[in-house]
Amino acid sequence: MEKVFDALVDAYLVDKVGISENFLSLALSKNLRENLVQLFKDKKLQKAKTGLGQEANINDRVRSDKIFWLDRTHENQHENAFFDIMDTFVLFLNQTCYTGITGYEFHYALYEKGSFYQKHFDQFRSNSSRQYTMIFYLNENWIPGDGGELCIYKDEVPENISPSNGKCIFFKSSELEHEVLLSHKPRMSITGWLRID
């Protein structure tokens, strides 16, 4: 995995956005996608909120995805395999880049047809614990007409990134404004943040 980690971080240092096409194996991506689909069938996904703490609220005009937080207490072997990779990546970052990451949080995200997330930063104004954003896409056979691109604004210039299967995106949570464009079919991912608490 170290070569994959190196390539992701090198791309981030050059372009402010690291992209790895195969950060997660196809097998793990498939198993995580199946988890997400089953959670949706079991009605365990919740409408995503905007804001933090008591100020958090549901606003479908800003974001319309549904989420479910990953946690080792679920004792799901595929979630735990994902966490094992993240533990290794955090150790790599702390040893090679001296980032001081102390934890992370990740959730499944499902954008149903017609869903989106308007332009935003991932770091809260009142809480700077989120340091790096990571997104892992779980979408098979995604084509340009399916929409749902991640649109990142670098120096206010938009760059669209396709949410194709296995791809990982890595960027500084406080630096880049971004949005999820309108999705024309169900769009699945794991999204989260590396934190300093």
**Assigned token pair, 137:** 């896409």
> If you average pLDDT over residues 88-94, what whole number do you get?
97
With a pLDDT cut of 70, the percent of the chain lying above it is 99
> If you average pLDDT over residues 154-166, what whole number do you get?
91
> If you average pLDDT over residues 46-69, what whole number do you get?
86
pLDDT band at 56 (very low <50, low <70, confident <90, very high): confident
> If you average pLDDT over residues 25-40, what whole number do you get?
96
**Domain boundaries, given as residue ranges, for the chain:** 2-50+59-195
Model pLDDT, residue 54 = 67
The pLDDT of residue 163 is above 80: yes
> If you average pLDDT over residues 132-154, what whole number do you get?
95
> Which CATH code of 3.40.50.300, 3.40.50.360, 2.60.40.420, 2.60.120.620 fits the domain covering 2-50+59-195?
2.60.120.620
> If you average pLDDT over residues 67-91, what whole number do you get?
97
pTM of the model: 0.95
